[in-house]
């Protein structure tokens, strides 16, 4: 940040004989940032404020916008459809913590420091090469009623051959969480591997000499030293899972009915399918506040732990 | 020592089992995408077909579902928007770090703050105002919004990068009489090409994989990005599009970011040392 300041000092330090020349740092410095500032102001900040304002109004896409005060938010609290969306979003949040994050950590720890580790991790990274939409198309084909999954289960003599995975709640949300896990696990594993590699060798060697291994080693040494990175992975995954859209939109569009809607899907459907712009805005605001709070708490915890290390 | 070896064997075994579970869906997707379209049968989907139908499937997806047309749009969006974002971000970083813009940190935070807004907060106003000014269902409109979303990250990386460039380079060029714009274009941009390439690849992948903005801001086959077309193909499967055709489309559409990433891997190897991989 030191570099950013003291333009005046620099200008004054120029030899006085060259005063006629243009100033060292140029005259139109603001011209260089203005495209970026203009772009984010008009296309990101303005729409953001507009959505906040609109969440206090009713607007159907046509006709006038009328002030509605907190009516949209009050409706949010009493809307059974939205309650389903909140419930499903919580399922996504919990499922994301249990599956891609925990399994990612497991894969990272298992493959850490063994020969050929990258080969063992490759199968988990392959699905990440596909886009969310591509993964969703593939999994909905596998899981559709009478599809590959059903046939495979009956061929193996397992239960579930006649199951309609995507047609009933809550199993439709659960199988979509599995599909998302299939895609996300590898990245989380990779992040954890980077974290493991940055752990200093001394405490590990010391613990090994003391006879620690396996689970004890993980619990007493790796886990506490990984904590800052775990906070980042958990924080990122939480915020991403709150905004889950692609997979659900492609696989079920939030249906059948509204049974697999998440908050992000509800926001999209209420706005662009049902033309309730004010109500859709209110859902977006709630989504933003919740994910903002989570990011804030995680960021603070992370900065806090860094301070402890520094002290 | 013996216990450790045993531990390692069981670790490998667990990884192999998990890895096979992970590979199986990928196997299903690939063998289904390459089998002839009419030979698909869910009850024997895991047995590979003796005939290769991949090219016929791709050709069918290309024409029947407008995947081909939307590939062109997506290519335009995911090249043009990150390029513009890189340029705009580099200009901002240059002004803040090298030209020491007054209140530079404030302007930086303002630009970087653009990354915190969830897409859901932008959709409605963008949809309404795009419709009003004629940018709805318009390629220019799509490039503008993707550029706006990509610019803050580009500015962030470029600001960090320029902080590490010696200021004496700038001073020397200035004393030689070069204008600030010329120093930017001929000295700083070429210096930053590795960082710019890394930013470009990440933003390319983001724009390429986007579904939400494409769904909200476009409508006609000529402007819809490819993920939107692919998502539509999914509902077409219930209406009779053969399963292998849909999966072949899913694979083809995933290729460009992978190819780009592999082709430029050395930029990443230098920048983000991902260790053992």
Best A17, A44, A147 residue to mutate vs chain B (most B CBs within 10 Å): A44
Tell me what the mean pLDDT of segment B105-134 comes to: 91
Question: For the segment A145-204, what is each residue's pLDDT rounded down to a tens digit?
Answer: 888 888 888 888 888 777 888 888 888 999 999 999 999 998 899 889 888 888 888 888
Domains of chain B by start residue, with CATH: 69-271 (1.10.3720.10)
Whether A309 shows a pLDDT value over 70: the answer reads: no
Residues in a beta bridge with A58: A66
Q: Are B137 and B220 in contact (CB under 8 A)?
A: yes
Number of H helices, E strands in chain A: 16, 2
Question: For the segment B231-242, what is each residue's pLDDT rounded down to a tens digit?
Answer: 888 777 767 788
Question: For the segment A140-162, what is each residue's pLDDT rounded down to a tens digit?
Answer: 889 988 888 888 888 888 887 77
Residues in a beta bridge with A57: A67
Distance between CA atoms of residues B148 and B103, nearest Å: 22
Is B59 near chain A, with CB under 8 Å?
no
Closest CA to B189 of B166, B163, B164, B158: B158
What's residue A158's pLDDT?
84
Closest CA to A247 of A88, A140, A127: A140
Q: Chain A closest CA to B22's CA: distance in Å? A: 6
Lowest-pLDDT range of B42-51, B154-163, B173-182, B194-203 = B42-51
Per-residue pLDDT band at B204 (split at 50, 70, 90): very high
Tell me what the mean pLDDT of segment B38-59 comes to: 82
Q: Chain B closest CA to A194's CA: distance in Å? A: 7
From the list A33, A126, A144, the residue facing B26 with the nearest CB is: A126
Domains of chain A by start residue, with CATH: 1-47 (no CATH), 71-310 (1.10.3720.10)
What's residue B148's pLDDT?
96
Q: Chain A closest CA to B221's CA: distance in Å? A: 18
Burial B32-49, CB ≥16 within 10 A → b, else e: bbbbbbeebebeebeeeb
Distance between CA atoms of residues B215 and B137, nearest Å: 10
Contacts 24+ apart (CB under 8 A), B170-179: B170/B98, B171/A24, B174/A24, B179/A26
Residue A57 phi/psi, 5-degree rounding, is -130, 170
Q: Structure pTM?
A: 0.86
From the list B3, B152, B251, the residue facing A213 with the nearest CB is: B3
Which of chain A's residues have a Cβ under 8 Å away from the Cβ of B100?
3-7, 10, 25, 29
Which of chain A's residues have a Cβ under 8 Å away from the Cβ of B29?
138, 142
Question: For the segment A41-50, what is each residue's pLDDT rounded down to a tens digit?
Answer: 999 999 999 9
Indicate yes or no: CB of B15 within 8 angstroms of CB of A249. no
Is B47 near chain A, with CB under 8 Å?
no
Distance between CA atoms of residues B138 and B205, nearest Å: 21
The burial class, CB within 10 Å (0-12 / 13-18 / 19+), for A41 is middle
- pLDDT, mean over chain A: 84
Distance of CA B205 to the CA centre of its chain: 1
Whether B271 shows a pLDDT value over 90: the answer reads: no
Closest CA to A97 of A288, A233, A263: A233
What's residue B273's pLDDT?
37
The burial class, CB within 10 Å (0-12 / 13-18 / 19+), for A163 is middle
What's residue B1's pLDDT?
45
Question: For the segment A244-260, what is each residue's pLDDT rounded down to a tens digit?
Answer: 899 999 999 887 888 99
Residues in a beta bridge with A66: A58
Per-residue pLDDT band at A307 (split at 50, 70, 90): very low
What's residue A22's pLDDT?
65
Q: Vertex A104, ends A114 and A101: CA angle to 5°?
A: 155
Distance between CA atoms of residues B55 and B4, nearest Å: 50
ipTM for the predicted complex comes to 0.87
Distance between CA atoms of residues A307 and B6, nearest Å: 40
Indicate yes or no: CB of A151 within 8 angstroms of CB of B43. yes
Residue B254 phi/psi, 5-degree rounding, is -80, -15
Going by the DSSP 8-state scheme, the letter that residue A130 receives in this structure is S
Distance between CA atoms of residues B188 and B182, nearest Å: 9
Distance between CA atoms of residues B53 and B39, nearest Å: 9
Indicate yes or no: CB of B99 within 8 angstroms of CB of A26. yes
Residue A212 phi/psi, 5-degree rounding, is -75, 145
Indicate yes or no: CB of A47 within 8 angstroms of CB of B122. yes
From the list B45, B209, B237, the residue facing A131 with the nearest CB is: B209
Closest CA to B238 of A173, A252, A248, A266: A252
Whether A53 shows a pLDDT value over 70: the answer reads: yes
Percent of chain A with pLDDT over 90: 32
Distance between CA atoms of residues B228 and B210, nearest Å: 8
Indicate yes or no: CB of B254 within 8 angstroms of CB of A134. yes
Number of C-beta neighbours around residue B127 at 10 A: 19
Which of chain B's residues have a Cβ under 8 Å away from the Cβ of A264?
120
Number of C-beta neighbours around residue A107 at 10 A: 26
């Amino acid at each position: 940040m030191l570099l950013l300041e003291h333009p005046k000092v620099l200008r004054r330090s120029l030899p006085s004989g060259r005063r006629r020349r243009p100033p060292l740092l140029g005259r139109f410095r603001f011209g260089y940032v203005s495209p970026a500032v203009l772009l984010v102001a008009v296309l990101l900040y303005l729409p953001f404020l507009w959505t906040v304002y609109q969440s206090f109004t009713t607007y159907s896409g046509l006709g006038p916008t009328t002030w509605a005060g907190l009516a949209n938010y009050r409706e949010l609290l009493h809307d059974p459809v939205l309650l389903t969306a909140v419930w499903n979003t919580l399922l996504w949040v919990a499922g994301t913590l249990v599956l891609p994050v925990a399994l990612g950590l497991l894969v990272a720890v298992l493959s850490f420091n063994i020969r050929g580790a990258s080969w063992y991790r490759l199968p988990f990274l392959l699905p990440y090469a596909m886009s969310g939409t591509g993964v969703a198309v593939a999994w909905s084909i596998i899981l559709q009623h009478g599809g590959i999954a059903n046939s495979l289960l009956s061929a193996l003599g397992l239960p579930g051959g006649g199951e309609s995975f995507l047609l009933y709640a809550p199993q439709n949300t659960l199988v979509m969480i599995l599909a998302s896990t299939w895609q996300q696990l590898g990245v989380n594993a990779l992040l954890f591997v980077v974290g493991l590699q940055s752990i200093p060798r001394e405490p590990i060697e010391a613990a090994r000499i003391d006879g620690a291994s396996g689970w004890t080693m993980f619990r007493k040494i790796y886990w506490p030293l990984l904590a800052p990175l775990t906070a980042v992975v958990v924080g990122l995954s939480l915020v991403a899972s709150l905004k889950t859209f692609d997979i659900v939109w492609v696989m079920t569009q939030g249906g059948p009915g509204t049974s697999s809607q998440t908050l992000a899907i509800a926001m999209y459907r209420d706005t662009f399918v049902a033309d309730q712009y004010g109500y859709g805005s209110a859902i977006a605001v709630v989504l933003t506040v919740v994910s903002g709070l989570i990011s804030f708490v995680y960021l603070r915890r992370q900065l806090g732990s860094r301070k402890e290390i520094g002290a | 020592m013996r216990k450790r070896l045993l531990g390692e064997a069981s670790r490998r075994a667990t990884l192999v089992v998990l890895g096979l579970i992970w590979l199986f869906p990928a196997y299903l997707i690939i063998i289904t995408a390459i089998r002839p379209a009419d030979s698909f049968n869910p009850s024997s989907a895991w047995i590979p077909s003796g005939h290769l139908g991949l090219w016929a499937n791709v050709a069918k997806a290309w024409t029947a579902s407008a995947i081909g047309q939307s590939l062109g749009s997506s290519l335009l969006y995911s090249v043009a928007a990150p390029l513009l974002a890189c340029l705009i971000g580099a200009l901002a970083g240059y002004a803040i770090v090298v030209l020491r813009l007054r209140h530079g940190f404030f302007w930086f935070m303002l630009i970087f703050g653009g990354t915190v807004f969830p897409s859901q907060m932008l959709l409605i106003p963008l949809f309404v105002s795009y419709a009003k000014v004629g940018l709805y269902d318009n390629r220019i409109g799509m490039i503008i919004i993707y550029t706006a979303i990509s610019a803050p990250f580009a500015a962030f990386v470029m600001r960090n990068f320029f902080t590490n460039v010696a200021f004496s380079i700038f001073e020397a060029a200035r004393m030689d009489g070069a204008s600030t714009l010329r120093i930017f274009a001929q000295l700083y941009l070429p210096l930053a090409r590795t960082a710019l390439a890394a930013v470009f690849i990440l933003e390319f992948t983001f724009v390429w994989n986007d579904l939400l903005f494409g769904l909200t801001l476009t409508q006609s086959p000529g402007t819809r990005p490819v993920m939107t077309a692919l998502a539509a193909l999914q509902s077409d499967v219930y209406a009779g599009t053969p399963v292998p055709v849909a999966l072949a489309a899913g694979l083809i559409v995933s290729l460009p970011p992978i190819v780009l990433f592999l082709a430029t891997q050395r930029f990443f190897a230098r920048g983000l040392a991902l260790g053992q991989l």
